[in-house]
Amino acid sequence: METSPQHPVLVIDFGAQTAQLIARRVREAHVYSEIVPHTWTAGQIAAKNPAAIILSGGPSSVWEKGSPNVNPDIFTLDVPILGICYGFQTMAQALGGAVENSGQREYGRTELSFTGEPSVLLEGTPNRQVVWMSHGDAVSQVPDGFVVTASTDQTPIAAFEDPARRYYGVQWHPEVLHSEYGQQLIENFLIRGAGLTPDWVPSSIVDRLVDQIRDQVGSAQVICGLSGGVDSSVAAALVHRAVGDQLTCIFVDHGLLRSGERQQVEQDYAANMGIKVVSVDESERFLTALAGVKDPEDKRKIIGREFIRSFEDAARKLTEEAAASGQKIEFLTQGTLYPDVVESGGGEGTANIKSHHNVGGLPDDLQFELVEPLRELFKDEVRAIGRELGLADKIVNRQPFPGPGLGIRVVGELTRERLDILRAADLIVREELTEAGLDQEIWQCPVVLLADVRSVGVQGDGRTYGHPIVLRPVVSEDAMTADWARIPTDLLAKISTRITNSVPEVNRVVLDVTSKPPGTIEWE
């Protein structure tokens, strides 16, 4: 059975931070999934026409007053169900089993063994394996019709199955990487247990999205704000695949870009793909608006505001040009992703755009209807689609770069000269990291100019009074937390020497060895 937004696997979120992770793992198994809140009624769930349901873990104890219970009506829908951790317990309770507070927490890597009963979920995995546990309560009695398939020293009922009704449950977290065979278990549930076809693959996603865009846009004109980042590049490439020259992209050069970025967008991306791009050089406007401003939040606000104004000006011009040739721009493409939709609480319908990371966010009073082809996708899927559409690796694998760009990497007031110093140092760092093959390992590496700091140095016979450059290479999964990247010291030495030799205003290179928390990734 195929899955799609019309026939999804629903992950019912009991408040676990792992609900998104579960949904991602399902997608990695090439099956389409969506997250819905546990407060949904069985009617709302049925209306989604689910292909299967997964009940997530959650922070509560089933014993706590007011803790969320699974809605028992979902067991009348005749849909395969997998309960995970809290979801396993609430499922056991709803179907007539029992859950007890054992008084003992089982936490972390735990050895699991099979009971010997035949198992759909555990098929093809070793009968002793390490799983990740995190629970205080435990299922103490299985509901009628279920067999126990696995246990740990502390938890005799660690997994159960009722293959006739296609109901399954596990006490551990198969979605986290510490559970050795977790992904296999999720696939076993989806493919063997629920009989789903793993056909949510880049080529079929592209075909579907292209059809969808064509339906939405018809013969109207579309504009798209390109930032050079992965999301807007892939969104534009998709719309281009769907409606070709009806798409015009706008690229606002705010003067806070890194060396070569504008050329990369104009040549490597637009020219190679045959996409129309109108670039506007607005660096003067931004620098004028930012003159004298030091506070990072003020900088962000000004950059955000000027970005919107620049974009509106460019869009207005294009609208007039289109009108002169009897055409109308009706649509605006944005690269909104599924996590943005979930995190802004907009799982259903309306267009929500994260306000924190602001520059791409456009006001909703722009007179365009939104085209958001990536709304259903996770970042990994966006990258896979980018590859499918033929985008170059350096675009698809591009590291995150903040919308306000180098504006928040010059600590202090922004001037053209300071930006040029930073650009020169940043280019050296990027070249060296790429040559050392570290681009994939490192999440991102802000290079920061401490423009208001000067320190004494010596060069040749003379004393210098220059600025420090900070290197901030980090490793991370999602930018919410991060650690400083352990870059080989020889490479650091090479970077330092190159920067101090070729950027005269810089006489010191320092390495930031702070994790996040407490330090954020960016310095401002």
Chain positions contacting ligand XMP, by CB under 6 A:
300, 357-359, 400, 402-404, 444, 479, 516, 520-522
CB neighbour list of residue 171: distance below 8 Å, 6 or more residues apart = 85, 88, 89, 133, 135, 138, 139, 155, 157, 158, 159
**Residues 172, 176, 181, 187, Cα dihedral to 10°:** 100
- Asked whether residue 233 is marked as a ligand-binding residue, the answer is yes
Give the H/E segment covering residue 226: strand 221-226
Give the H/E segment covering residue 136: strand 128-141
Q: Residue 444 Cβ, how far from ligand XMP at the closest point, in Å?
A: 6
Tokens of 523: 């310095």
Say how far apart CA 65 and CA 63 lie, in whole Å: 6
Task: Check if the beta carbon of residue 160 is closer than 8 Å to that of residue 139.
Answer: yes
Is 279 or 520 the residue whose CB approaches ligand XMP more closely?
A: 520
Q: Residue 502 Cβ, how far from ligand XMP at the closest point, in Å?
A: 26
Is 62 or 425 the residue whose CB approaches ligand XMP more closely?
A: 425
- Asked whether residue 67 is marked as a ligand-binding residue, the answer is no
Q: Residue 186 Cβ, how far from ligand XMP at the closest point, in Å?
A: 28
- Asked whether residue 119 is marked as a ligand-binding residue, the answer is no
Is 99 or 256 the residue whose CB approaches ligand XMP more closely?
A: 256
Question: Which of 38, 85, 306, 505 does the annotation list as catalytic?
Answer: 85
- Asked whether residue 229 is marked as a ligand-binding residue, the answer is yes
Question: Is 85 designated active site?
Answer: yes
Q: Residue 34 Cβ, how far from ligand XMP at the closest point, in Å?
A: 25
Task: Check if the beta carbon of residue 68 is closer than 8 Å to that of residue 114.
Answer: no
- Asked whether residue 33 is marked as a ligand-binding residue, the answer is no
- Asked whether residue 515 is marked as a ligand-binding residue, the answer is no
Question: Which of 175, 261, 282, 505 does the annotation list as catalytic?
Answer: 175
- Asked whether residue 62 is marked as a ligand-binding residue, the answer is no
CB neighbour list of residue 5: distance below 8 Å, 6 or more residues apart = 32, 34, 376
Question: Is 445 designated active site?
Answer: no
Is 227 or 500 the residue whose CB approaches ligand XMP more closely?
A: 227
Q: Residue 300 Cβ, how far from ligand XMP at the closest point, in Å?
A: 5
Question: Is 522 designated active site?
Answer: no
- Please name the residue that has the structure tokens 């959650």: 58
Q: Residue 257 Cβ, how far from ligand XMP at the closest point, in Å?
A: 13
Is 335 or 402 the residue whose CB approaches ligand XMP more closely?
A: 402
Is 359 or 391 the residue whose CB approaches ligand XMP more closely?
A: 359
- Please name the residue that has the structure tokens 């846009």: 217
CB neighbour list of residue 357: distance below 8 Å, 6 or more residues apart = 402, 403
Q: Nearest-CA neighbor of 375 among 212, 245, 511, 174? A: 212
Q: Nearest-CA neighbor of 380 among 346, 339, 332? A: 339
Question: Which of 30, 38, 135, 173 does the annotation list as catalytic?
Answer: 173
Say how far apart CA 463 and CA 64 lie, in whole Å: 69
Which residues participate in the annotated binding site for ATP? 227-233
Which residues participate in the annotated binding site? 227-233
Catalytic (active-site) positions: 85, 173, 175
